[in-house]
Amino acid sequence: MNQHTGSNFDDFLEQEGILEEVSAKAHKRLLALQLADIMQEKSITKTSLAKKLNTSSSQVDRILDPDNTSITIEVLERVAHAVGKKLHIKFA
């Protein structure tokens, strides 16, 4: 009999000890996709975003990397401001 029958996916991930890691990657992937869409919509290049952030294009690549979850809230705030958006974070 399957021990996971009737449980939800979050329960499974928690039992495997990877819930936070998987959740962080999913949230970062969503943020990266949203940022890429905003950049395309507003014709913002990686180079121009790097200039607005006073950083390098390689740092912008890290921000856009959906697997890089080490981006700080401060950086996300700066990015949001640079593309004319506001960052909203909440606990659900």
Please state, in angstroms and rounded to a whole number, the distance separating the CA atoms of residues 74 and 80: 10
**Banded model confidence at residue 63, pLDDT cuts 50, 70, 90:** very high
**Banded model confidence at residue 83, pLDDT cuts 50, 70, 90:** very high
Is it the case that residue 76 has pLDDT exceeding 90? Answer: yes
What pLDDT shows up at residue 19? Answer: 84
Helical spans, DSSP H, in the chain: 9-16, 19-41, 46-53, 57-64, 73-82
Tens of pLDDT along 3-51?
656 578 778 878 878 888 888 899 999 999 999 999 999 999 999 999 9
Q: Among 1.10.3110, 1.10.357, 1.10.287, 1.10.260, name the CATH number for the domain at 9-82.
A: 1.10.260
